Amino acid sequence: MTKSLDSLVEWLIDNGHAGKLLGMLWGESQYADFESLGSLDRHSRILISMAAQHLEFIERFGNIYEDVKVDGKIYFPLHEYFLAWRLALLPGVSHYQLERLCKDLGMPE
């Protein structure tokens, strides 16, 4: 398959699989790169945490840019932090495992 990291991430989000990517980041997926997750530096862990919060927002409210108010609480997307994680080449995520996940979910070649 050999697609770019960005195209794989975009496909997952566009096709409703943000939660699958979130599972990889939290190490709760068979596709998680446990070795990489265990050896991250402090800055990479911060990037992962912020990316995960953004993915949680997407899971709950969709891939939108507006803040959402629910029961007096305001939830907001973290697109900039998610982009920073992507620009850092997805620390904590293996390109191979990400490709495997996308293929298993039916991403066209």
pLDDT digits (tens, 9 = 90+) for 32-68: 999 989 999 999 999 999 999 999 999 999 999 999 9
Closest by CA to 25, choosing from 77, 105, 99, 98, is: 98
- Kindly list the distances between the CA atom of residue 109 and the CA atoms of 27, 102, 106, in Å, as whole numbers in the listed order: 26, 10, 9
Q: What is the pLDDT averaged over residues 84-93?
A: 96
What pLDDT sits at residue 1? 57
Q: Give percent above pLDDT 90 in the chain.
A: 95
d(CA 109, CA 35): 28
CA distance 83 to 67: 18
- Residue 18: pLDDT above 90? yes
What's the pTM value of the predicted model, to 2 decimals?
0.92
| Residue 13 and residue 94 in contact, taking contact as beta carbons nearer than 8 Å | no
Q: Where are the alpha helices (DSSP H) in 27-69?
A: 34-38, 42-61
